[in-house]
């Protein structure tokens, strides 16, 4: 019998909720998780302030020769070890089974475009959400597994669970190898950390190919042509802005989240005439991002786009989702954690997702 870790996509991305492993003999008195996944300042603060934290064991059951350990959901992004008495089971020993992602999203490859697709059980055309992942969640040439864009962050899998009547398309772009820890931090506005090479990132070329797939699905009678939406975070937020230029005839509305601001994306954003709701934190890991977002949205509204909106989440807004709650965070850490503004957005804070799905393209 294999070792199973049951997971779902939560606020930190793929999170483990329980373990199943063959077991003989008595149930050990001491069962716990250890390792980088649960040994962080954030986890320690949550434990001290609430008495429980991600990774804590909630229940243990021995059933039909199988030990079932349920834990408070804990991230699978960092290494962990399940300790049961004097035995240790490493993360790599487990097969991870992820709710909805594993059985509801088809793996598809069309030319250069690799994507995962959730299809609703419907006979009539249904709306579609196109989701564009952030930097570091794509793949490199020859190493794309067409999965990371689903598991890395709260987003497309949750759309499928929250809006089961809507197509969800999550393509994976090819990325260049770069040091993500340095990407964008303190970068001047006139500089872009993203390649101008059409083969990489959310380039106009690649987005054009993605849009063509959606247009084909419209022609096939699967997707409602008046209700195609695009959203994405960070690099994918910039991709969302660029998609509104590449596929200006296609999208009814857009929600770019913490979009990377460069001269190109700023110029596109400030000229968009379709419904759009931009969301980010009051300050982010790209310093002054919020300044350009404010300027762009004000320019849209000044030029007659009354359905252009902006939300800059306050510290209190973010804290509702356990973002940047550890006291006395160093500024670089605070800015990096604030970047998670897609969590409140996709949890429908301020009704942003409800607004998106109620937009209809009239032309």
**Helix, strand, coil percent values for the chain (each to nearest 5):** 30, 30, 40
Report DSSP state, residue 339: T
Q: Which residues of the chain have pLDDT under 70?
A: 1, 178-198, 363
Kindly state whether residues 153 and 225 are assigned to the same domain. yes
Provide the pLDDT for residue 286. Answer: 84
Let me know if residue 173 belongs to a domain: yes
Kindly state whether residues 301 and 187 are assigned to the same domain. yes
pTM, two decimal places: 0.94
- In the three-class reduction of DSSP (H, G, I as helix; E, B as strand; rest coil), residue 311 is classed as strand
Provide the pLDDT for residue 243. Answer: 97
Q: Which of 76, 98, 120 is the last residue of a domain?
A: 98
Provide the pLDDT for residue 112. Answer: 87
What phi and psi values does residue 333 have, to the nearest 5 degrees? -70, -40
Q: Which of 70, 98, 126 is the last residue of a domain?
A: 98
Let me know if residue 88 belongs to a domain: yes
Kindly state whether residues 123 and 72 are assigned to the same domain. no
Kindly state whether residues 105 and 216 are assigned to the same domain. yes
Kindly state whether residues 137 and 277 are assigned to the same domain. yes
Kindly state whether residues 91 and 181 are assigned to the same domain. no
Q: Which of 46, 63, 98 is the last residue of a domain?
A: 98
Indicate the burial class of 101 (C-beta count within 10 angstroms; 0-12, 13-18, 19 or more). buried
> Strand pairing partners for 22?
66
Provide the pLDDT for residue 190. Answer: 46
Alpha helix segments (H runs only) across 152-279:
156-162, 204-219, 235-246, 263-269
Provide the pLDDT for residue 239. Answer: 96
Kindly state whether residues 194 and 206 are assigned to the same domain. yes
Let me know if residue 325 belongs to a domain: yes
Let me know if residue 362 belongs to a domain: no
- Domain CATH for 285: 3.40.50.1820
Kindly state whether residues 198 and 226 are assigned to the same domain. yes
Let me know if residue 266 belongs to a domain: yes
Kindly state whether residues 121 and 205 are assigned to the same domain. yes
| Predicted confidence (pLDDT) per residue in 212-226, tens digit | 999 999 999 999 999
Our count of domains for the chain comes to 2
Provide the pLDDT for residue 287. Answer: 82
Provide the pLDDT for residue 184. Answer: 54
Kindly state whether residues 189 and 311 are assigned to the same domain. yes
Kindly state whether residues 62 and 141 are assigned to the same domain. no
Kindly state whether residues 169 and 234 are assigned to the same domain. yes
- In the three-class reduction of DSSP (H, G, I as helix; E, B as strand; rest coil), residue 276 is classed as strand
- In the three-class reduction of DSSP (H, G, I as helix; E, B as strand; rest coil), residue 26 is classed as coil
Dihedral sign (CA 272, 275, 280, 285): negative
Q: What is the DSSP string of 60-96?
A: EEEETTEEEEEEEEEESSS--EEEETTEEEEGGGSEE
The residue range of the domain holding 349 is 101-357
Let me know if residue 363 belongs to a domain: no
Let me know if residue 9 belongs to a domain: yes
């Amino acid at each position: 019998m294999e070792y199973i870790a049951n997971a779902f996509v939560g606020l930190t991305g793929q999170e483990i909720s329980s373990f199943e492993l063959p077991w003989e003999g008595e149930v050990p008195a001491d069962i716990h998780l250890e390792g980088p996944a649960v040994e962080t300042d954030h986890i320690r603060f949550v434990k001290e302030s609430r008495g429980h934290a991600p990774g804590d064991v909630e229940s243990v059951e021995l059933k039909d020769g199988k030990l079932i350990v349920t834990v408070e959901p804990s991230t699978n992004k960092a290494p962990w070890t399940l300790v049961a008495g004097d035995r240790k089971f490493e993360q790599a020993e487990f097969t991870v089974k992820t709710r909805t992602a594993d059985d509801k999203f088809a793996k598809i490859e069309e030319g250069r475009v690799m994507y995962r697709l959730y299809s609703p059980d419907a006979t009539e055309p249904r709306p579609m959400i196109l989701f564009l992942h952030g930097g570091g969640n794509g793949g490199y040439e020859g190493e794309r597994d067409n999965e990371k864009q689903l598991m890395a962050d709260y987003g497309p899998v949750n759309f499928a669970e929250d809006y089961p009547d809507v197509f969800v398309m999550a393509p994976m772009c090819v990325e260049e190898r770069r040091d993500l820890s340095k990407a964008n931090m303190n970068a001047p506005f006139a500089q872009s950390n993203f390649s101008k090479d059409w083969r990489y990132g959310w380039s106009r070329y690649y987005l054009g190919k993605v849009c063509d797939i959606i247009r084909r699905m419209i022609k096939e009678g699967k997707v409602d042509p008046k209700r195609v939406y695009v959203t994405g975070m960070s690099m994918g937020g910039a991709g969302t802005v660029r998609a509104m230029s590449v596929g200006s005839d296609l999208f009814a509305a857009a929600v770019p989240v913490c979009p990377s601001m460069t001269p190109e994306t700023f110029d596109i954003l400030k000229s968009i005439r379709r419904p759009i709701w931009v969301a980010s934190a009051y300050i982010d890991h790209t310093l002054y991002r919020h300044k350009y977002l404010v300027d762009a949205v004000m320019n849209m509204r000044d030029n007659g786009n009354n359905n252009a909106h902006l939300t800059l989440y306050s510290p209190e807004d973010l804290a509702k989702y356990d973002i940047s709650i550890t006291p006395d965070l160093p500024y670089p850490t605070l800015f990096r954690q604030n970047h998670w503004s897609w969590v409140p957005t996709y949890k429908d804070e301020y009704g942003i997702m409800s607004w998106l799905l109620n937009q209809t393209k009239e032309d």
